[in-house]
Chain A
């Protein structure tokens, strides 16, 4: 969220932060689903950073994480926060405006 509006906004490059917790099933699903969506709709124009809060617990506080998994789109445009394993592809696309 801190680096929400940065220079990559013009290039339309999508940057994601995906918060997961260890090896939980939902986390696995979320990673899979996000990759699938990005590969399909944003080929080559995205960057995903996966943060495992069970190891990096400070980040959960810093980013106000409550639910797991949580996806934060930091760029472009306004940041969006999506909670869930992203299995509802249509909803995810609508939220991310893709």
Chain B
């Protein structure tokens, strides 16, 4: 893709004319398709998909580019061919009836044909010309032309005639695909086709550690640059698709949207309240630390928001996952029914790494999810060698980022603490944006689950180890319980809580007692005050009586004086 961009940037430059193959991915690595009007050789061993690739080239040419084609088969009769590709959804009979396709089966039986004297392959040329003219074909496939060599004796004539055939095809201006069996030392048995073809593609079918992977490589392409690597390809119910994964670059758009983790309480551990959209999250932990549950929580949360989600379960079947999540009160079935959630289960060893990647890519293309969950990614890692795994993970993550998909991976750690981080973590951890670890905290005869954030690119996050419990209502992140020796979990947490409660109650009682005492004292005081007041009042009264008496006496004596 990089080169393709350069080409378009300098648009005034000559662009080699190409015929798009219509095969997913192949046009990208060939930068536009096969050389237009020239022969292309596709070679490889038995059963590596040569016939299918060439057939798909023809059919896509008809259906997508309206370029009629001719398929000249030297190996399979026309009917067999129709039947073989029917399972891949290609209806040859219809195309034939529509006058878009001619299939000509050329039968050369050694036992039936004798040779006496000079001959040429004009018969073949004329048949081909006839077929081309019938449908005005611009695409031609010859599959597998070298069968002629096993059917006929005179190799010298054949070689000369094949050479002439290639030139003839070029003159005709048709884009031809010739298939060939792989030879011992050469790309083809005769060692001829690769020299006269303008483009040579080798297909390969390899088995490494009991896992087979199909690969494709462009050996030569006259007059054009092309991807040189080996690219894995997949044959599935839609035919062939090639994955040009290494062409991706690190210039994807970034989003600052926040998506919730779905786990109550976990959001608050992140300064922004969740994960960034389009970021990669790793949940690592040992066995039984509720990684899958956290992943399912995330999936459910996304579904609730109406986001399309794909859940790859490499350990459980979809039904099992749904059932298990039901036990903690989560209804995933609802979202499966509504089409928001897809759960895909397969054994990781079913396919090679690349094929898993290809499948994922296809799914992204078809389903267009915004969230992808892979549970666990460490199982994929068991499939390949370290180097393969690493490159695949880089591709995987790049691919997800490229599509702005929020991805959550879980990773199973080995139980031993010393050799941390193990391969899975090591390969993934530098690639992911957010890394949450769940772990066992063992002590005093019990096992508790703790969760902490190892890293979170581009946002502040809590440094605490939070204990969480899983109940019938789901995950619950507990508040921090501080003890004299740090954070407490499990029974210690409970004991501490109980102790605290007892102390609190005692304190309360003490307080109440004091209150009551004060009240009593106040009452006493008030009573005293009342008594004193009374006393004072009586004294005051006495005094006033005394005063009154005195005043009376004075008045009396004054009166007496006046009378005298």
Tell me the complex Cα distance, A61–B122, Å.
Answer: 12
Q: Are the C-beta atoms of A65 and B123 separated by less than 8 Å? A: yes
Q: Are the C-beta atoms of B114 and A81 separated by less than 8 Å? A: yes
Interface membership of A19, Cβ < 8 A:
yes
Tell me the complex Cα distance, A69–B124, Å.
Answer: 11
Q: Are the C-beta atoms of A61 and B116 separated by less than 8 Å? A: no
Tell me the complex Cα distance, A82–B148, Å.
Answer: 15
Interface membership of A91, Cβ < 8 A:
yes
Q: Are the C-beta atoms of B119 and A60 separated by less than 8 Å? A: no
Closest to A78 in B: B112
Q: How large is the interface on B (under 10, 10 to 19, 20 to 34, 35 or more residues)?
A: 20 to 34
Q: Interface residues of A, CB < 8 Å — how many? A: 32
Q: Are the C-beta atoms of B130 and A58 separated by less than 8 Å? A: yes
Residues of A contacting B124 in the complex (Cβ-Cβ under 8 angstroms): 66-67
Closest A-B pairs by Cβ, 5 of them: A84-B117, A65-B123, A68-B122, A87-B117, A57-B130
Closest to B106 in A: A66
A60 → chain B closest CB, angstroms: 5
A63 → chain B closest CB, angstroms: 9
Interface membership of B10, Cβ < 8 A:
no
B153 → chain A closest CB, angstroms: 9
Q: Are the C-beta atoms of B116 and A95 separated by less than 8 Å? A: yes
Closest to B104 in A: A61
Q: Are the C-beta atoms of A67 and B119 separated by less than 8 Å? A: yes
Give the A-B contact count at a CB cut-off of 8 A: 93
Interface membership of A86, Cβ < 8 A:
yes
Interface membership of B115, Cβ < 8 A:
yes
Residues of B contacting A54 in the complex (Cβ-Cβ under 8 angstroms): 122, 126
Residues of A contacting B107 in the complex (Cβ-Cβ under 8 angstroms): 64
Tell me the complex Cα distance, A17–B489, Å.
Answer: 97
Q: Are the C-beta atoms of B130 and A60 separated by less than 8 Å? A: yes
Residues of B contacting A87 in the complex (Cβ-Cβ under 8 angstroms): 116-118
A-B contact pairs, 23 of them (CB 8 A): A24-B120, A29-B118, A30-B117, A60-B126, A61-B130, A65-B123, A66-B106, A67-B124, A68-B120, A68-B122, A81-B112, A81-B113, A82-B115, A82-B116, A83-B115, A84-B115, A84-B116, A84-B117, A84-B119, A87-B117, A91-B116, A95-B114, A95-B116
Residues of A contacting B130 in the complex (Cβ-Cβ under 8 angstroms): 57-58, 60-61
Interface membership of A74, Cβ < 8 A:
no
